[in-house]
Structure 1
Amino acid sequence: MDVSLLLPLAERIPALVAPCRVHELLFPIGEESAAWASGHGLILGESDATRLGRGRFERLACRLLPDVPPARAVLVTEWLIWLFALDDHIDDGGLGTSATAVDALYEPLILTLRRGTARPGSGVLETALADLWNRTVPGMSQGWRRRFRDHLSWHRQGCLDEAVARRTGELPAPTRYAAVRRGLHAPFLLDLLEPALGTEVPVEVLGTKTWQTLLEGTADVTAWCNDLVAYTREDHGPLNAVAATSRQYGLPPRTAAAVLVHERVWGRLEDVADAARNLDAEMRRLRLDPGTARGVSRVACALLSAPRAQLDWLHECGRYSPMPDPSVPSPRRKPRVTLT
């Protein structure tokens, strides 16, 4: 479907009205991450000739993190490339209807994070993951690393749930749908905001209802908006939010998309805004020191910017448009700045 269906959100939700600032080194960040993807065999040949290459994930990372050192924005961009490469491998490689095949694909990836190294002779997804992990974890606590691995396991389970649904037609109950879809949406990506911002959210904040609503609400909104743009009548996953809404209410897809935007996404954005308003009081109650509180606030601000950052990225990227698409020119150019 068309990203234009999401535009009413930008017009009527205060948090989405203003476009995000963009990192001033957007173009060299994109060039650096594209070179990394090619070097690891995730993108072969001309970048804009592939659906993965045309994702232009630096445009999302540079809106989420406009003020971080460029090397950190590069790293987040590369994580996004890796995730979508994994997604494409499952969908395009014939694995998407086999839970056994998905599980076999994911097992060595989980082990890579535990060992910190890829197996000899391993595939490109495994070697790229080992590189990303070893560049991400310095300075992060064992608790953060464990949380990241747990969230990667949630994504594994989400991929398994989707494979079972594709094979059997059995779908989660409406009351379970949001949690199942959230797992499929790679919850570990939001963990990456912390190393990118040079901070770590303390465990006492992570356990609050306020933070859980902020985190899960952001994940829900971005997952559902991505589903809306990715949906086609002929080709969509069984856990796609448009398809799920259509089934639940017996609506045609276009009407289901409108319901998704104007009721579910809108309502979840209000939940996120309420949680953000309560965060300062929550941190005072927990008696966080000023430095820790500032770090939590920075992560919260990045979470709040995610829906608008995604909206602008979906409008600009070429991943969900037909190939080739001459109307979406390459935004990349040779970098003139060395990234450090």
Structure 2
Amino acid sequence: MRRFVTGALAEPPYPARVNERAGAVGQRSAEWAMELGLVSTSDAAQRLDRANAGDLAGRACPDAGPEQLALLTDLITWLFSFDDSCDDDGLGADPGRLAPVVARLLQVLERLGGPVPAELLDATGPTGTALHDLCRRVRDQHRPVLLLRFTRQVREYLLALLWEAANRKHHRVPGISEYVQYRRHTGAVYPSFTLTDIGHGAEPDAPRLADPRLSELEALAADLVCWCNDVFSYDKERRLETDGHNLVLTIAREAGQDEYAALAEAVRRFNTALAAYDRLETAVLAEGDPDVTRFAAARRCWIRGTYDWSLGASRYQ
């Protein structure tokens, strides 16, 4: 199946680039995770190493300085670690247990990187401590609009995890349209985009961000990142008999197709969305706004970077 995906998925028509600091920053991010207690076992450390967060961040921010690259890499490390911890103890399949965890993390986000009571950090453990550290560093960028975007988007990610957990508890496979909408949030693509904007020096003002075309461009980029992940990880998920949170499985269930036909349809959707993204980006960039140019470049790097990272990611093999 992986061979079919590699051959059938359209290669994003953008340059493949990696930040020269990616390896060193990735190693430092792994140490950050260890120091804060996000990783506490050798098995967890190995899984985090296979995720190769530094490579993914380095492809998303090929020209970023060390501080900006480290911020994005640490976010990706935090996301992989939280995802693994939810899988390890069944938290991600039990909304009743997950809800209080999410509630405490939301309290951390509401502090917007400012002082947090020690008892709250104690209650959230390493996950909350690391999240606060990320928010504090975003706050230190002195870009209030970006800070508010980031914390809102992480909030949406956490709440979407409750949707996933409820589906797992009830053995429910969502419909395609529902899945596509929630997947943009469960994949934590939006907060990742926002931190990537720091590395690209992009920060469109609020009126520009409210432009429906820019919103559509970002949604298409999020879909492409998530669907690329879905088709490359599907073979492993199928072998492990995991739940129905994959574009291929939602297509198979809703359309009544076998897995090979559903995989082909998922690939077709990716290829169609990639062409649509390219057309819309061309139209948006024609206006010549430098901030929008950098905004689009960040998302283009994520599309290309996810594709290249997925080709070699041992996490999904």
Instruction: Tell me the TM-score normalized by structure 2.
Output: 0.88
One-letter amino acid matched to 1:137: R
Q: Tell me the residue number matched to 2:312.
A: 316
**Shift in Å, 1:28:** 1.4
**Shift in Å, 1:306:** 1.5
| Structure 2 counterpart SS, 1:121 | helix
| Structure 1 counterpart SS, 2:315 | coil
List, as ranges, runs of 4+ consecutive aligned residues in structure 1 with deviation greater than 4 Å. Answer: 45-49
Q: Tell me the residue number matched to 1:246.
A: 252
Instruction: For 1:72-91, list aligned pairs within 5 A.
Output: 72-91=68-87
**Shift in Å, 1:37:** 1.5
Relative to structure 1, the CA distance from residue 68 to residue 8 in structure 2 (aligned partners, 3 Å threshold; closer, same or farther) is same
Judge conservation of contact 1:26–1:58 (CA < 8 Å) in 2. Answer: yes
Moved more, 118-127 or 221-230: 118-127
Unaligned runs of 5+ in 1: 285-292, 322-340
**Shift in Å, 1:120:** 4.4
**Shift in Å, 1:194:** 2.1
Moved more, 166-175 or 44-53: 44-53
Relative to structure 1, the CA distance from residue 271 to residue 306 in structure 2 (aligned partners, 3 Å threshold; closer, same or farther) is same
Relative to structure 1, the CA distance from residue 137 to residue 164 in structure 2 (aligned partners, 3 Å threshold; closer, same or farther) is same
One-letter amino acid matched to 1:226: N
Judge conservation of contact 2:135–2:147 (CA < 8 Å) in 1. Answer: no
One-letter amino acid matched to 2:135: W
| Aligned equivalent of 2:278, options 273, 282, 285 | 273
Instruction: For 1:51-200, list aligned pairs within 5 A.
Output: 51-115=47-111, 116=113, 117=116, 119-122=120-123, 123-186=125-188, 187-200=190-203
Deviations 1:103-153 (A, max 9, x none): 211111111122233624241101111111111222344333222222122
Moved more, 300-309 or 42-51: 42-51
Judge conservation of contact 1:110–1:149 (CA < 8 Å) in 2. Answer: no
Provide the C-alpha distance between the structure 2 equivalents of 1:210 and 1:243, rounded to a whole number of angstroms. 30
Judge conservation of contact 1:178–1:220 (CA < 8 Å) in 2. Answer: yes
Provide the C-alpha distance between the structure 1 equivalents of 2:83 and 2:46, rounded to a whole number of angstroms. 14
**Shift in Å, 1:45:** 5.3
Relative to structure 1, the CA distance from residue 105 to residue 250 in structure 2 (aligned partners, 3 Å threshold; closer, same or farther) is same
Relative to structure 1, the CA distance from residue 39 to residue 4 in structure 2 (aligned partners, 3 Å threshold; closer, same or farther) is farther
Q: Tell me the residue number matched to 1:327.
A: none
**Shift in Å, 1:4:** 5.6
**Shift in Å, 1:63:** 0.9
Q: How many residues align structurally?
A: 307
Flag the structure with higher helix content: 2
Provide the C-alpha distance between the structure 2 equivalents of 1:35 and 1:153, rounded to a whole number of angstroms. 26
Judge conservation of contact 2:285–2:292 (CA < 8 Å) in 1. Answer: no
Unaligned runs of 5+ in 2: none
Structure 1 residue 257 and structure 2 residue 263: aligned? Answer: yes
Q: Tell me the residue number matched to 1:236.
A: 242
Judge conservation of contact 1:24–1:66 (CA < 8 Å) in 2. Answer: yes
One-letter amino acid matched to 1:247: R
Judge conservation of contact 1:96–1:102 (CA < 8 Å) in 2. Answer: yes
Provide the C-alpha distance between the structure 2 equivalents of 1:49 and 1:124, rounded to a whole number of angstroms. 15
Structure 1 residue 206 and structure 2 residue 212: aligned? Answer: no
**Shift in Å, 1:10:** 4.3
Q: Identity across aligned pairs (percent)?
A: 30
Instruction: For 1:297-312, list aligned pairs within 5 A.
Output: 297-312=293-308
Relative to structure 1, the CA distance from residue 197 to residue 6 in structure 2 (aligned partners, 3 Å threshold; closer, same or farther) is same
| Structure 2 counterpart SS, 1:21 | coil
Deviations 1:197-251 (A, max 9, x none): 3331211221222211211111111111112222222433322111111112222
Deviations 1:55-95 (A, max 9, x none): 11111111111111122112111100101111112222211
RMSD of aligned alpha carbons: 2.2
Judge conservation of contact 1:3–1:315 (CA < 8 Å) in 2. Answer: no
| Structure 1 counterpart SS, 2:91 | coil
Q: Tell me the residue number matched to 1:2.
A: 2
